[in-house]
A and B are shown apart, each in its own frame.
Chain A
Amino acid sequence: MSATGNAEYLKRWNDAGDEGLRFQNLEYIGNFKGMPGVPDGILGDRMMRERAKSGVLEKVTKEEVLKDEFTIDELNDLNNYLAWNIWDVLVMRATEGVSGMIPRQEYEILSFMQEFYRYPQFMRMMTDNLGAEGIMNIGASARKEIGTKINCVHDWCLGAVAFGMGRCGLLALEAIGPDDYVEESNIILKFMQRVLWGKRQDGYILNSQDRYRCQIHDQSIIDQVMGQTVDFEEGSEDFRRFTNFNATAELLAFFDHYDCRLGLGDTGPYPLPDGRLLIIRDLFVNEEVYHWSDVCDELPHCYTLAVIVDPDKFGLDEIRVNDISTTFTIPKNYIPGITGGAIFVRDKWDTPMGEVYPLKLTELEPHLEKIRTATVKMYDKTIRMPRRELLTNGIWSYYVDMLLPYLRKAGIWEEVNTPKYDYWEIDQRVANYYYEITKRNFVQVTVPQKIFSGEGYLPFSANADLRSSKYAWI
């Protein structure tokens, strides 16, 4: 690994036999007991695909994606791969412990279960309204927009969270069996596949299948973004302004989404003609559907940063835009490699792209002041809330936001946000699980053990019936 000098990251992309670098010294077992452990990264992706029984993890055609349902083998291959992928991006998060602020681990597992129970209805509504191809077109819309929540973290959450971790949590709680809810699992995973395939358009659905690249934007968007960028030297005033804005806005974006990665959306890396790399980063600092986001009312829905890094400047050996929209590099500190950038504003989620406007770096201070003020107000508001309210807000932040962009794009958000569908209501079983998970230390011990080790993602059996359904929300 080089600390300085020539970057070697292109080996990761161009050498077919390259195994990538290890970002962690752990191995994944999951449903492959007795077999060699699977590492993270490019090698891990290769091993997981070699163990698949179907072709669902290779490049698939549009016709394949338009089929109504997966086979049991395909469901199991997706289940196994998503379990590894969740481990790949989140296992070190298991070391995070309690925050002392928001009961994040508690709200997370409850929202996973809530999504598994409730999303199939809304995914089916969207598919009925738009058709399978219409769902693919929702994904494809991400290619022509910046500041959109139809992005890899939201797309990934549809399957990895609603199906993967939601089903895993319910299995661990012994609330369901491995062969229950097969039909609903199919609905969720089909919806995810269609959105992701439509977004990527290369046959894959996940960034990990493409050596952790999310190069989805049309060239016209890249050109539009690059037309506003400026170059600067490390340590210069412009460098300081840009990097400080990035950090400050990113902090609020996490906070507004209850310490959740849904506030951040990276795409790229896009190679530039001069050898540098472009990352396009959306920071969602004001989600208007959250009542606690009133402290962000003076801020736009999203700031989008064009971040240009010079790989040679910091000896870049590997770069990953992972499936939860976050960029990680080796060396870890990419900040000294930033040599240029631009910042854009999207006022509302549905502001037309033609009305997205750039900010000059000399114009950032008033925005920074509003972001800092909102951050402190958010903190002040949060510490006054009782634990149960924080928990409910946390469930909403996941459950509402992970499907919100698609409901909006499908044109049915207003319809589901009515008493007829009670979108914001918590399923009665999930409400009751609150007491279960706190009684048996389920959150602090069982959940990390089952979800992050991969042990809990039980496969569907050979006898599972694709028609098996228990759909109801109570």
Chain B
Amino acid sequence: MTVIAEGYNAFETPKTATGTIKYLKDPASVMGLIKSGKLAEHILLVRGGTTTFLAPALTMGAIGVITMSGAPESHLGILSREFQIPCVMTAYLTGSSSRYVVGDPGDAHFAEIVAELEGKNVTLDCSDHDLGRVVLNA
């Protein structure tokens, strides 16, 4: 098992989510994915932790979410729990020392994560109380 990223686990669940990571950079890309009919094939990677940005994806059947900021107490953390969508929050790369800092725009940090994760086929392991894991599929 190769864990390529970790972060806060929004809620513990034996349920896993498997798909190809897709970075959603703006609302248009959220709507584009929904209209493509391929929402259920992807683990959604987003920068911010707030709910509104992902609202249509959550209500239309997103299967898994990775955020680069935010925590289980945020609205997205709460909503992912209510929808039972596995969710790893404030994810960082296990192979990098770069970490999210509150208040720091951190563009390089986010860009590094997107470059490493986008397009990878992964499974979200959210069985731990605290730690959510992004596992690379063979």
Q: With an 8 A cutoff between CB atoms, is A251 at the interface?
A: yes
Q: With an 8 A cutoff between CB atoms, is B46 at the interface?
A: yes
Partner of B59, one of A98, A246, A248, A444: A248
Taking a contact as CB atoms under 8 Å apart, the answer to whether A445 and B69 are in contact is no
Q: Which of B1-28 contact A (CB under 8 A)?
A: 9-13, 25-28
Dominant secondary structure at the A interface: helix
Q: With an 8 A cutoff between CB atoms, is B72 at the interface?
A: yes
A-B CB contact pairs (8 Å), 16 listed:
A93-B74, A94-B102, A95-B102, A97-B68, A98-B47, A99-B48, A100-B26, A243-B82, A247-B83, A250-B78, A251-B51, A254-B75, A261-B75, A330-B129, A332-B10, A382-B52
Given contacts A247-B58, A259-B50, A332-B81, 16 further A-B contacts (CB under 8 A): A89-B73, A90-B73, A92-B73, A93-B73, A96-B74, A99-B50, A100-B48, A104-B50, A251-B55, A259-B52, A332-B11, A332-B12, A371-B59, A375-B55, A379-B52, A383-B31
Contacts of A376 in B (CB 8 A): 56, 59
Contacts of B27 in A (CB 8 A): 100-101, 379, 382-383
Q: Which of A77-98 contact B (CB under 8 A)?
A: 89-90, 92-98
For the complex formed, measure the closest distance between the CB of B25 and the CB atoms of chain A, giving whole angstroms.
Answer: 8
Ranked 7 nearest A-B pairs via Cβ: A97-B69, A99-B50, A247-B82, A92-B71, A333-B11, A96-B49, A445-B103
Contacts of B71 in A (CB 8 A): 92-93, 95-96
Q: With an 8 A cutoff between CB atoms, is A464 at the interface?
A: no
Q: With an 8 A cutoff between CB atoms, is A142 at the interface?
A: no
For the complex formed, measure the closest distance between the CB of A140 and the CB atoms of chain B, giving whole angstroms.
Answer: 29
Contacts of A392 in B (CB 8 A): none
Given contacts A93-B74, A335-B82, whether A254 and B103 have CB atoms under 8 Å apart is no
Chain A positions near chain B (C-beta within 8 angstroms): 1, 3, 89-90, 92-102, 104, 243-244, 246-248, 250-251, 254-255, 258-259, 261, 326, 328, 330-333, 335, 371-372, 375-376, 378-379, 382-383, 441, 444-445, 448-449
A89 to B73, CA, bound (A): 8
Q: How large is the interface on B (under 10, 10 to 19, 20 to 34, 35 or more residues)?
A: 35 or more
For the complex formed, measure the closest distance between the CB of A299 and the CB atoms of chain B, giving whole angstroms.
Answer: 14
Taking a contact as CB atoms under 8 Å apart, the answer to whether A444 and B105 are in contact is yes
Given contacts A96-B71, A332-B129, whether A254 and B51 have CB atoms under 8 Å apart is yes
Chain B positions near chain A (C-beta within 8 angstroms): 9-13, 25-28, 31, 46-53, 55-56, 58-60, 68-75, 78-79, 81-84, 90, 100, 102-103, 105, 129
- Chain A: CB-nearest residue to B34: A376
- Chain A: CB-nearest residue to B28: A383
Taking a contact as CB atoms under 8 Å apart, the answer to whether B12 and A331 are in contact is yes
Taking a contact as CB atoms under 8 Å apart, the answer to whether B103 and A449 are in contact is yes
A82 to B60, CA, bound (A): 38
A250 to B77, CA, bound (A): 13
For the complex formed, measure the closest distance between the CB of A7 and the CB atoms of chain B, giving whole angstroms.
Answer: 16
A100 to B28, CA, bound (A): 11
Taking a contact as CB atoms under 8 Å apart, the answer to whether B69 and A96 are in contact is yes
Contacts of A371 in B (CB 8 A): 59
For the complex formed, measure the closest distance between the CB of A264 and the CB atoms of chain B, giving whole angstroms.
Answer: 8
Taking a contact as CB atoms under 8 Å apart, the answer to whether A332 and B72 are in contact is yes
